[in-house]
Structure 1
Amino acid sequence: MRILISPAKKMRVDTDSFAPETLPAFLPETQRLLAALQSRTAKELQRLWKRNDAITALNFRRLETMDLRRQLTPALLSYEGIQYQYMAPGVFDRDQLAYVQEHLRILSGFYGLLRPFDGVTPYRLEMAASLSVDGHKDLYAFWGDKLARILAGETDLVVNLASKEYSRAVIPHLPPSVRLLTCTFGEQKGDKVVEKGTMCKMARGQMVRWMAEHDVQSAEALTAFSDLGYRFSPAHSQPDHYVFLKEEP
């Protein structure tokens, strides 16, 4: 089993809690992306990032001094978004850390596919960014089937907890031999299941934590997840799509 999650925009440096164990698998590709970003002017990067002057200036300075091999933070501790706050990897015990190291993979526009203890540095590059590199029109074309091939070589089950922006870099390229299971966290509104962004991020992070706490090894075991008021809904689910509905208070 491999669990896919998205990165977070906000990142931090933490060289004290845990030391990185490995470098990212696609570091040569990341080096090419870095060179492409460094060749852009600040104005061009602001249009690419679609961010205000302050965030643009911060990330432009990062690019000027970026070192992909030194002063690195384990990927699992580097991202600071809501999903990671609810996962709370900083308080995982040894067995839970071992679980996520084996099963969890983080998708990244800049690094491709990250293991939890791959060393990373703060960057700004979302998967949907319109960055043309090496003749590829965007990052989806740049990464192609590389990420899916790595996953297919590791597992026959992918649990997709990533956003559509990021899972799109993998799902079209997975071979039929790999079962893809996507999880949705929503609320019943009439005949529809409606997802709310913040709640989805909370639930995805909480599910990763729950899986690590319970040493989940099968897709079917996920149906027991019942945190944050969500319950598995057999009526709304399919073998390749599990739906968890938030109960009315």
Structure 2
Amino acid sequence: MRILISPAKKMKIDTDSLPYENLPQFLEETQAILQCLQGMDYAGLKALWRCNDSIATLNYERVKAMNLRRDLTPAILAFEGIQYQYMAPSVFEDKQFLYIQKHLRILSGFYGLLCPFDGVTPYRLEMQAKLAVNGERDLYEFWGEKLANQLCSETDFLLNLASKEYSKAVLARLPKSIRFLTCTFGELKEGKVIEKGTLCKMARGEMVRFLAEKNITNPQDIKNFDRLGYTYREDFSDSQNFVFLKVEEKNAANW
């Protein structure tokens, strides 16, 4: 089993808490992307990033001085988004670190595919960014089949906790022999499952923590997730999508 998650826009440098173990496996491709970014001016990068001046200035300076082999942070500690806050890897025990190093993979527009203890430097680049690299019109075409092929070499079961922006980079390129299971976290409104961005990120992070704490590798055991008020719903789920619903207290007694 491999668990897929998205990166976060906000990143930090932490070279003290834990050492990184390896360089990312697609570093040559990352270097090509970096060279492309370094060839752009401030206005072009700000437009690419679609951000304010403060964020653009910070990341412009990062790009111009970026070294992919120095002052690196383990990927699992480098990202600071909501998902990672709820995963809380900084308080994992050794056995949980061993679990995620084996099973967890972070999809990235810049690095492609990351293991938790791959050494990374702060960057800003979404997978859906319209960046032409090496003649390819965007990052989806640039990465092509590389990410899917690597994952297929590791497992025949992918548990998708990534957003559609990132899972899109893998899903369309998988052979039918690979099981791709997505977890949906939502609320029931007028008979429809409604997903809310922030709550989904919280649940995805909590799910990774749950899987690591329980050492889960059997798909059936994923259904036992019951944190943050979510419960697995067989009636909304199928073999490709496990649905977990947060039930309002006033409606909890109705099913």
Counting only pairs closer than 5 Å after superposition, residues 53-64 of structure 1 correspond to structure 2 as 53-64=53-64
Q: Residue type matched to 1:244 in 2?
A: F
Name the CA distance, whole Å, in 2 between partners of 1:134 and 1:64.
20
Q: Secondary structure at the match of 1:83?
A: helix
Structure 2 unaligned segments of length 5 or more: list them.
250-255
Pairwise CA distance, 1:61: 0.4
Name the CA distance, whole Å, in 2 between partners of 1:65 and 1:31.
13
Q: Secondary structure at the match of 1:188?
A: strand
- Aligned counterpart, 1:138: 138
Q: Secondary structure at the match of 1:80?
A: coil
Kindly provide the CA deviation profile for residues 161-213 of structure 1, in whole angstroms up to 9, marking residues without a partner as x.
00000000000011111100000000000121000000000000000000000
Name the CA distance, whole Å, in 2 between partners of 1:15 and 1:59.
19
Q: Residue type matched to 1:92 in 2?
A: F
Name the CA distance, whole Å, in 2 between partners of 1:47 and 1:65.
20
Q: Secondary structure at the match of 1:169?
A: helix
TM-score by length of 1: 0.99
Name the CA distance, whole Å, in 2 between partners of 1:103 and 1:247.
30
TM-score by length of 2: 0.97
Pairwise CA distance, 1:147: 0.2
Name the CA distance, whole Å, in 1 between partners of 2:106 and 2:219.
19
Name the CA distance, whole Å, in 1 between partners of 2:132 and 2:156.
32
Kindly provide the CA deviation profile for residues 114-155 of structure 1, in whole angstroms up to 9, marking residues without a partner as x.
000000000010000000011100000000010000000000
Aligned residue pairs, count: 249
- Aligned counterpart, 2:82: 82
Give the % identical residues: 60
- Aligned counterpart, 1:5: 5
User: Alpha carbon RMSD of aligned pairs, Å?
Assistant: 0.5
Q: Secondary structure at the match of 1:106?
A: strand
Pairwise CA distance, 1:108: 0.3
Counting only pairs closer than 5 Å after superposition, residues 170-185 of structure 1 correspond to structure 2 as 170-185=170-185
Residue 218 of structure 2 is aligned to residue 245 of structure 1: no
- Aligned counterpart, 1:209: 209
Q: Secondary structure at the match of 1:124?
A: coil
- Aligned counterpart, 1:96: 96
- Aligned counterpart, 1:128: 128
